[in-house]
Structure 1
Amino acid sequence: MTRLATGWAIFQGLLIEALPFLLLGVTIAGLARWLVPQSTWVRRLPRHPLLAPLVGALLGFALPACECGNVPVARRLLASGAPLGTGFGFLFAAPVLNPIVLASTWAAFPDKTWLLWARPAGAFLIALFLSALLGLLPEAKLLETALLEERRMSQPLSTVGLLERRGGVLGSASVSPEQRDDTAGVSPRVLVQHSTKEFLSLLTLLVLGSALAALVQTWLPRNWLLALGSAPTLSVIALMLLALVVSVCSSVDAFLALGFAAQVTPGALLAFLLLGPVVDLKLAGLFTVLLTPRAIAITAASASLMVLLIGQWVNLLQL
């Protein structure tokens, strides 16, 4: 009964912590869909392989939310026809590159000045690497089916034909009024219906992810992970596993890391703060509304390898 009570408490904590940010993300995505015609801003986004993820990452300053709230916003960007680099740059870097997370990192570690620049720099490098890597895959093998169809509907016929759109004259799906004219805006009623449906869909995935994270946290002791904290390589791996398991939001993960910062290597501490906003058990379900299972697996493996290398490099420098 004690473990059951502990698991229930952890599950509630994760859900309550993430829910406001998920709601914020859906609201931001809905307002962007309503206030700004898609063709107005999508055409202005750079498509350069370096500038696109950079712009996406910097959007985190304007749209501050944790990784849960960024998923619906990133989905809206991609569905609107934004460059893949912009959408992925926002998805992977904005959870760290936003004022709330930067302020919480500074509040938790005011004496570790190196961490205040190493964390955002590392987040940007990971986002740039993942954006370039995922961009090598064809969109049909990269994006989730429903998102792919929405994205194709948002692109001109010169880029995506009617057969590929799967809508209109030759397709199988009907075209909604807001898709026929993306400059006309969306009525408040349609906006509320769409946002409610998206929120409920993401909420279901969030509940499942939080339940999985709570289950693993309850049955997997953290002591054996922290016991490896002094080993240069094993400490990084141990803290990466801890970030995967605890699934805490990026807005507060620095305060959690403060509790064991003195027992682990600098590279392990940075690895914990870098991997969690990109890959954790709570995000596993949410990513299914964006990416195919193969793309999710590539993202998780590549991000983990990148974080491991960064952590090792930091340990060599001993910042």
Structure 2
Amino acid sequence: MNRLATAWAIFQGLLLEALPFLLIGVLIAGLARWLSPGGRWLQRLPQHPLLGPLVGAGLGFALPACECGNVPVARRLLADGAPLGTALGFLFAAPVLNPIVLASTWAAFPHQPWLLAARPLAALLLALALAAVLQQLPEGELLEPALLEERRLGQPLAVVGLLERRSGLVGAEPAATRARARPQRPSWTSVLEHSSREFLDLATLLVLGCAIAALVQTLLPRDWLLAVGSSPTLSVLSLMLLAVVVSVCSSVDAFLALGFAAQITPGALLAFLVLGPVVDLKLLGLFGVVLRPRAIALTAAASGVVVLLLGQWVNLALL
């Protein structure tokens, strides 16, 4: 009974922590859909493999949401035709590169200036690496099928042919006519209905992810992972696993890390603060509305390798 009560308490805490940011993300996505129907300005963002992800990461400064809230926003970017690299850069970097997370990191570690610079820099490097890796996959193998179809519908026929759209556009007006026509702004009722459905779908996945994270946390005590905190390599690996299991939002993870920062190496601390906002148990389900399972697995594997290397480098430099 004690374990069940602990799991229930952890589940409630994770869910109550994440739901407001998920709602903020859905509202931002809905507002973007209303303000810019068709998302034509997004299609003018840079396609460059380096500049695109950098621009996407920069968008995180304007959107105060954690990783849960960034998923619906990134999905809207992709659906409206934003360059793939830009949307991926936002999805992976914005959970750290936003004002709330940067302020919480400073508040938790005001006497460790290296961490205040290393966390956003490491998050940016991780986002660039993930964008570069995932863009090696064709869009058809990368994006979730419903999102891929919605994305293709929003692109001009010169880019995506009728056969690729798969949505009954054969016989539609000529491409030149469609290019001149401006997309109509949807009604508030339509936007609210769409956003409500999206929120309920994502909330269902979030509940499932929080339940899994709570059960795993209950069965795998944190003390086991913190026991190897002084080992340069094992400490990084253990804190990476802890970040995945704990599944705490990036807006408050710095305060959680403050409780055990003195027991672990600097590289392990950085690994915990960088990996968690990109890969954790509650996020894996949410990623399913953006990426295919193979792409999610590739994201998790590549993130683990990059964060392990970053943590090892920090330990070599500071220990």
- Per-residue deviation at 1:73? 0.1
Q: Which runs of 5+ in 1 are unaligned?
A: 172-179
Counterpart of 1:223, as a letter, is D
Residue number in structure 1 paired with 2:157: 157
Residue number in structure 2 paired with 1:125: 125
What secondary structure is seen at the aligned counterpart in 2 of 1:110? Answer: coil
Residue number in structure 1 paired with 2:23: 23
Runs of 4+ residues over 6 Å off in structure 1: none
Does structure 2 conserve the Cα–Cα contact (< 8 Å) formed by 1:26 and 1:195? Answer: yes
Q: Per-residue displacement from partner, 1:62-86 (whole Å, max 9, x unpaired)?
A: 1110000000000000011100111
Residue number in structure 2 paired with 1:302: 302
Residue number in structure 1 paired with 2:270: 270
Matches within 5 A, 1:42-61: 42-61=42-61
User: Which TM-score applies when normalising by structure 2?
Assistant: 0.95
Counterpart of 1:113, as a letter, is P
2:258 is aligned with 1:258: yes
CA distance in 2, matches of 1:169, 1:121: 44
Does structure 2 conserve the Cα–Cα contact (< 8 Å) formed by 1:115 and 1:270? Answer: yes
CA distance in 2, matches of 1:207, 1:166: 32
Counterpart of 1:34, as a letter, is W
User: What is the aligned length?
Assistant: 311
Residue 39 and residue 79 in structure 1: after superposition, are their counterparts in 2 closer, same or farther (change >3 A)? closer
- Per-residue deviation at 1:182? 6.1
- Per-residue deviation at 1:170? 3.5
Counterpart of 1:7, as a letter, is A
Does structure 1 conserve the Cα–Cα contact (< 8 Å) formed by 2:33 and 2:39? Answer: no
What secondary structure is seen at the aligned counterpart in 1 of 2:214? Answer: helix
- Per-residue deviation at 1:41? 1.2
Does structure 2 conserve the Cα–Cα contact (< 8 Å) formed by 1:39 and 1:182? Answer: no
CA distance in 2, matches of 1:69, 1:147: 17
- Per-residue deviation at 1:40? 3.5
What secondary structure is seen at the aligned counterpart in 2 of 1:168? Answer: coil
- Per-residue deviation at 1:287? 0.4
Residue number in structure 2 paired with 1:136: 136
Counterpart of 1:46, as a letter, is P
Matches within 5 A, 1:232-247: 232-247=232-247
Residue number in structure 2 paired with 1:212: 212
CA distance in 2, matches of 1:56, 1:63: 11
What secondary structure is seen at the aligned counterpart in 1 of 2:65? Answer: coil
CA distance in 2, matches of 1:242, 1:183: 46
CA distance in 2, matches of 1:277, 1:18: 12
Counterpart of 2:292, as a letter, is T
Counterpart of 1:129, as a letter, is A
- Per-residue deviation at 1:183? 2.7
Matches within 5 A, 1:135-214: 135-170=135-170, 183-214=183-214
What secondary structure is seen at the aligned counterpart in 1 of 2:191? Answer: helix
Does structure 1 conserve the Cα–Cα contact (< 8 Å) formed by 2:55 and 2:89? Answer: yes
CA distance in 1, matches of 2:182, 2:235: 50
Does structure 2 conserve the Cα–Cα contact (< 8 Å) formed by 1:40 and 1:183? Answer: no
CA distance in 2, matches of 1:184, 1:131: 32
Q: Per-residue displacement from partner, 1:52-111 (whole Å, max 9, x unpaired)?
A: 101110101111100000000000000111001111000000000000000000000000
CA distance in 2, matches of 1:265, 1:255: 17
